[in-house]
Structure 1
Amino acid sequence: MIQWHELLVVARSINFSDQEDQLIWQYESKVVYSSSSMYSIINFRGVKKIFLPAVWKLKIPPRVQIFLWLLSQNKIMTRDNLRARGIPKPLECEFCKEVEFVHHLMFDCIIARSLWSDVFKIFHIQVSDYESVACKWLCNKKFLHFNIVTSAMLWGLWNVRNCLVFNRSSWINMKQVWNLVFSYLRNWKVAFQEIGEGESARFITRLLQKLKRPLRLPPC
């Protein structure tokens, strides 16, 4: 849930002008309609499918691109997908004990919501589902830093979950996720110079500050 102080931050960041409102076409990097982008939507029979080719242009390691591609196809091995393949596993989420499926784990679980609330504080972009993340892949030049950070967070959340499932690790607090996200961004900074400046750098600094103090989950 968005807090009042977060709304106030957004309100202060809005600058009004005398210019007329303009329509923006979100499926082109130039935010201007083109027949080729419309053809892509029609050809892939729906908006969600056109996100997939954009995965391979993100400034992230190839294995993370593959993970995001699997996530886009709902093919990562969450509890419900394992059941669908005939593998009997408990359905409970490792973090909150509700039924685990892709949307719940990555966006609706209390742990995921806590992660995305911090993204909002830096980027002022509300993340609520897969599409709210993937639609920014199409304009990677404009949303470069947002795409890098959200990729690290999805990858980190998935790997912490896997440690709990396969390595029998114990869940302690949010630092388990933030430590991984911080390490990913720090390592990617060496490979991709774009991370060393702008909003990505500010997010890394914010993470470092969070890791130096005790963390508490917000109320449900």
Structure 2
Amino acid sequence: MSWALQIRWLWFQKTDSDRPWKGLEIPVHSNARALFDISIVSQVGQGTNVLFWTDKWLFGCSLAELAPSVVAAVPLKTKQQRTVAEALLGRQWPTDIQSGLSLVGLYEYFQLWDALLEVDLSEENDQHIWRFDNSGLFSTKSAYRAFHIGATTFEPWRRLWKAWAPAKCKVFLWLAIWNKCWTADRLAKRGLPNAASCVFCDQTDEDIQHILTDCVFAREFWYKILEPVGLAASTPGQEDQIFAEWWRKARKRADKLKRKGLNSLIILGAWSLWKHRNRCVFEGGQPCIQVIMQEFNNEKQLWHLAGAKSLQELGLGEAPN
């Protein structure tokens, strides 16, 4: 967001000549400047507000893209100051080239010369177009989104990261949704010792989706914590084998006033299942509904004390005095 806001300075510097700081060096991050440079296309009118060597104004490209060897021979200060109007009036741009050109550079030079012969300046104002918005105008929102083009999406992000829960529980669930927890399936892929079957039900191979949603033990546990708040109908069924998808459907079924509390409740429930599983695997315990319910209630009271108001609003009891 900071980079997107910094690009706003660059946009105003380019398009608003009335800004009192227009001629000053703006301290922006290199990533912000790089995105700005590739996002602006200029349409030349008078040519007084378009930089000849660096702006994208010829065929939608900058001269650095069309003739890199020629541009490399131009001093940096000149590239940052020379406008299109100054360069084309009287064909003064060749005088900016301060060092010799190779054969490739000479070829680019003559190609550039031919292309510039077709450029005619007019009395209209120069226009700068922001490529990431249909209006052609800059917005911080479009710049922010441009930074995330190609990023991997995470559908449950809002109900996970916006819910009230300790950070360690959120991080665990984030890993679980991405199937990154060290359950038997993940250990087997790496040739590491692992349990032959689910420690809860002993009926199928273990993976994190099974532990949290598909296991009969997990379903009984979810029923016992959802039933007191009137959401027993949201208990995972046989068709619910992906935790994140079940969570999405359960939240959709709940009343809007209960959704925040439900998100915290589901995070707490998943955390309790994971801790109970680990106790069975590493401490030799036995899966027991009564035990996990006691662990769940103890943890719930701690969350109440820590300020989990959404759980209290859900009707799961009040924090102890």
Tell me the TM-score normalised to structure 1 length.
0.63
Whole-angstrom distance in 2 between the partners of 1:101 and 1:164: 15
Comparing both structures, which one devotes a greater share of its residues to helix?
1
Identical residues among aligned pairs (%): 24
Given candidates 207, 211, 219, the residue that maps to 1:101 is: 207
The answer on whether the counterparts of 1:106 and 1:157 sit within 8 Å (CA) in structure 2 is: yes
Partner-residue secondary structure (3-state), 2:278: helix
Structure 1 segment 82-161 matched on structure 2, within 5 A: 82-97=187-202, 98-121=204-227, 122-123=230-231, 124-127=233-236, 128=240, 129-130=242-243, 131-134=245-248, 136=251, 143-161=259-277
1:145/1:79 CA distance change after superposition, 3 Å: same
Aligned length: 163
How far apart are 1:103 and its partner, in Å? 1.9
* 2:180 maps to 1:75: yes
1:56/1:115 CA distance change after superposition, 3 Å: same
How far apart are 1:109 and its partner, in Å? 1.1
How far apart are 1:54 and its partner, in Å? 4.5
The answer on whether the counterparts of 1:55 and 1:65 sit within 8 Å (CA) in structure 2 is: yes
* 2:314 maps to 1:199: yes
1:117/1:182 CA distance change after superposition, 3 Å: same
The answer on whether the counterparts of 2:176 and 2:209 sit within 8 Å (CA) in structure 1 is: no
Whole-angstrom distance in 2 between the partners of 1:201 and 1:90: 35
More relative contact order, 1 or 2 (CA 8 Å, 6+ apart): 1
Tell me the TM-score normalised to structure 2 length.
0.44
How far apart are 1:168 and its partner, in Å? 1.4
Whole-angstrom distance in 2 between the partners of 1:169 and 1:100: 17
Partner-residue secondary structure (3-state), 2:156: helix
Given candidates 270, 279, 294, the residue that maps to 1:163 is: 279
Whole-angstrom distance in 2 between the partners of 1:74 and 1:111: 20
1:115/1:53 CA distance change after superposition, 3 Å: same
- Structure 2 letter corresponding to 1:78: T
The answer on whether the counterparts of 2:169 and 2:267 sit within 8 Å (CA) in structure 1 is: yes
Whole-angstrom distance in 1 between the partners of 2:283 and 2:308: 34
The answer on whether the counterparts of 1:52 and 1:72 sit within 8 Å (CA) in structure 2 is: no
The answer on whether the counterparts of 2:258 and 2:314 sit within 8 Å (CA) in structure 1 is: no
1:52/1:43 CA distance change after superposition, 3 Å: farther
Residue deviations 1:144-193 (CA, integer Å, cap 9, x gap): 1111111111111110110111111233x201211111111110111124
| Aligned counterpart, 2:166 | 61
Whole-angstrom distance in 2 between the partners of 1:200 and 1:43: 42
The answer on whether the counterparts of 1:146 and 1:200 sit within 8 Å (CA) in structure 2 is: no
What value does the CA root-mean-square deviation take over the aligned residues? Answer: 3.3
Unmatched runs of 5 consecutive residues or more in structure 2:
1-141
